[in-house]
Amino acid sequence: MWQQYLQKIQQADIRTLARCISLIENESQGYESLMRLLPSSATPVIGITGPPGAGKSTLVDSLIGLIVEQEKKVAVLCVDPSSPFNLGALLGDRLRMSKWYNNPNVFIRSLATRGSLGGLHPKIIEITDLLKVAGFDYIIVETVGVGQSEIEIAGLADTTVVVVVPEAGDEIQTMKAGIMEIADLFVVNKSDRPDADTFVKNLRLMLAPAFHRQETPVAVIKTIASQKEGIEELYAAINENLKQSAKNTKHFWLLAEKAYYLIQQKRLKDINKAALQESIKKEGADFNLYRFIKNYD
């Protein structure tokens, strides 16, 4: 059965692809057998991340348009926030990118974080690896935009694009310890706003010390995504960075991060949050966190 699914996916059968993504999301019995059948693939993964309101979805929408113009195929995974209580989500990207849903060269799937704190879906690695064998030229992953904890995207994407806006001066300082270091490219979106040039200058100054630790400096690109300005420059910079990323040590670090994450998931598989909550309720007023977790040593 899984072999047949794989063959259909490799033949660009979108229905089978969508069904298999759902099987992975829901951890349906035997889905790991499908994952073990996947051949290696060099399909590039582009991560788009940044704080909420930076215009990530509009930027992705413009990138899709340019990729389609180049007669290439693209898959887009849009990760949206979900409720910590019922794990549901408002998948707003379905509205922002609705014009592409009937385009045969574009596949868009919205995913909820399902309680994951790193801005990504718990099964994002498996879903991305499945998309890699489906005949796409690019895979774009747009994260939820949660800030500093969003550095998980660096362990998934071959090229990570961090999107900020000119008003993010103070916000940049708070992000610097995490999200700032993961960028392969910076995009200053909404650059038609006042003081955009000053912000770009300051951002480049902030990045200057990093030049000594990298083979090439991090590019800063100005865009106005709503007007599709700067998108061609961004697309060219992404492709150039993808060529370089195949040659540097980040590739092996990325694979190690993926392996670590999957091993961690596997070892924690028998631990259920709902069951933990019930056990803690039974402890009542005598609950001690450290005595409790010692049971899992």
The model's pLDDT over 187-200, given as tens digits with 9 standing for 90+, comes to: 999 999 888 898 88
Structure tokens at 81: 């926030």
> What is the amino acid identity at position 107?
F
* DSSP output for 179-215: GGGG-SEEEE-STTSTTHHHHHHHHHHHHGGGGGGSS
Write 191-194 long-range contacts (CB < 8 A, 24+).
191/166, 191/222, 191/223, 191/224, 191/229, 191/230, 192/224, 192/227, 193/165, 193/166, 193/167, 194/166
Total Cβ atoms within 10 A of residue 197: 12
The model's pLDDT over 234-285, given as tens digits with 9 standing for 90+, comes to: 999 999 999 876 555 666 776 777 788 778 877 887 888 788 888 888 888 7
Q: Which CATH class is domain 40-248?
A: alpha beta
**Residue 147 Cα distances to 143, 203, 263, angstroms:** 10, 17, 25
Beta strands in 219-295 (DSSP E): 219-222
Spell out the domain ranges in the chain. Answer: 1-37, 40-248
Question: 229: which DSSP letter?
Answer: B
Nearest-CA neighbor of 111 among 129, 130, 87?
87
Question: What predicted TM-score, i.e. pTM, was given to this entire model?
Answer: 0.81
Give CA–CA dist 17/274, Å, rounded: 31
Structure tokens at 22: 């759902």
Structure tokens at 284: 């009542």
Q: Which of 73-77, 141-145, 250-254 has the lowest mean pLDDT?
A: 250-254
